[in-house]
Amino acid sequence: MTSNTTSVIATDHISTQAASSTSTEGSVRDELASVSQSVGTVQSNERTKSQSQLSTASDATSSVEEMQPKKDTWASRTFAPGSSFTATIAVVKATLGGAILSNTYEMAIGGYVSAIVLLMVFAVLNVLSLDMIVKTVEKTGKRSYATIIEYLYGRKILYVFQIAMVVFCLGSSASYLVTVVDSLAPLFNQLTINEPHAWYHIMLTSRYYLSLIMLGIVMYPICLVKSLGSLRYLTIVSILGMFWLAIVAFYLLGTYGMAADFKYGQAYAPINWIDCLEGVTTYIFGYCNQANMPEIYMEMNPRSPKKLRWVAIWSAIVSTAVYFAIAIPFLLVFGPDSQSSVLLNMADYLPQGDVVVIIGFIWMAISFIGTYPFMIYPVRVAVVNTFEPKRADFWGVVAVTFAVVISYLIDIALPDVSILMGIVGAISGSILCFIAPGYFCISTSKSKKFFAPENWLYAAFVILGCITLVGGTAISVYEILQFAEGS
């Protein structure tokens, strides 16, 4: 763009000079015509012709430069908005979240071989689920999850979907707030460890106060932005922080080795089957990215179900690889002592002043601070789109404030990442990942019958979603009661 602009400016300057010179020569030619008409005419014609050729050549060069297309390079195609690569990154960003912290715990209590198999199974189911949503987008022409539901089932069912979405967002935001406090409290504890009774030590290490401080100073203000696009750089930092956690996992394994009490007998058999089933809902949460898929697909250019299928496959591969790269090394290091969040185990290495671990804590805090607004923003959108108030901006702020307060209350009442993700995965994940996509395809099929042979896969998804919804919710409630008794 800069070179083209420079060419135009230069051309205009040359053209102006040519026109000025031609006009001057005309006047001189008239004055000297009576003295030496033939000589003056010849000289004038030659100079006019020269200037005209120069102007014409400059105009032609400028036109060619302006019309010349930008270079089509591999980088420009790969990183262009709407490309398959950028779509894959968007899906990976929507997938990776708090599950990276609790998968280690689920492997420890549920048998790590069975956990690895379950993660791969849910990765495949995620690809199939995204494919179902894209088929529905193609058939209905609707551009979002909510508009698809309203188009197929009416506004009343849309309200049910909005409730599921709000539950998902509130539970996720609460788990992210828990993670931020779990990241910062150990650091502040080390900084003020010599003054355990000082007011600032209490403020910076107590979940009650530290959560309020982080919400009031940082997290609530950034939730009030009108567009999430303004947080895109913070999002990139958040994703990189998750990759850094994988580096920390391998670093600890290489530095300290396997846990002395690591039990190979847990490879296949879980400690108890309730904990194993709890892991299922956590894995559902780990692959819950369906709500964003219609928008991501519509932004692809060119787009097709086949292209999106490969996007879904690659995003599932990358996300699963990240989950494994974090969970397995941490499992080998922590063994049966793995806690509901790997941050709780990592805190044991802070007194040693390990820089890699310290950076990991700081980056995790930044990562989930940056992810938190993405869970609050849909609540505002749901409220505004559902009730359509006259003062949309005002009620949007009210919705954000309400969501932030609820996330704080959940953070205080249930500061366990694993349980939070389990119940969110059971309730909202089952609906968003299995029940809704399956019903979408049944409703847009030729027969529109649940048990039609052509709809066997879609019906299986709905049935699986109902099982995880009922069973997972019951197990999550049981885990909450156990947590309440223990506390």
Of 49-63, 82-96, 229-243, which has the strongest mean pLDDT? Answer: 82-96
pLDDT at 156: 86
Architecture of domain 86-486: Up-down Bundle (1.20)
Residue 66 makes CB contacts below 8 A (sequence gap 6+) with 4, 7, 8
- Per-residue confidence at 232, pLDDT binned at 50, 70, 90? low
- Per-residue confidence at 125, pLDDT binned at 50, 70, 90? very high
CB 408 within 8 A of CB 212: yes
Q: What are 50-89's pLDDT values in tens digits?
A: 444 544 444 444 444 444 455 667 666 666 777 888 888 8
pLDDT at 123: 95
User: Among 267-271, 313-317, 426-430, whose mean pLDDT is lowest?
Assistant: 267-271
User: Among 56-70, 92-106, 156-170, 369-383, whose mean pLDDT is lowest?
Assistant: 56-70
- Per-residue confidence at 265, pLDDT binned at 50, 70, 90? low
pLDDT at 360: 94
Using the predicted structure, report yes or no on whether residue 91 has a pLDDT greater than 80: yes
Using the predicted structure, report yes or no on whether residue 208 has a pLDDT greater than 70: yes
- Size of the chain, expressed as the number of residues it contains: 487
Q: What are 426-456's pLDDT values in tens digits?
A: 888 899 999 999 999 999 999 999 999 999 9
Using the predicted structure, report yes or no on whether residue 39 has a pLDDT greater than 50: no
Q: What are 179-188's pLDDT values in tens digits?
A: 999 999 999 9
Of the two residues 304 and 71, the one the predictor is more confident about is 304
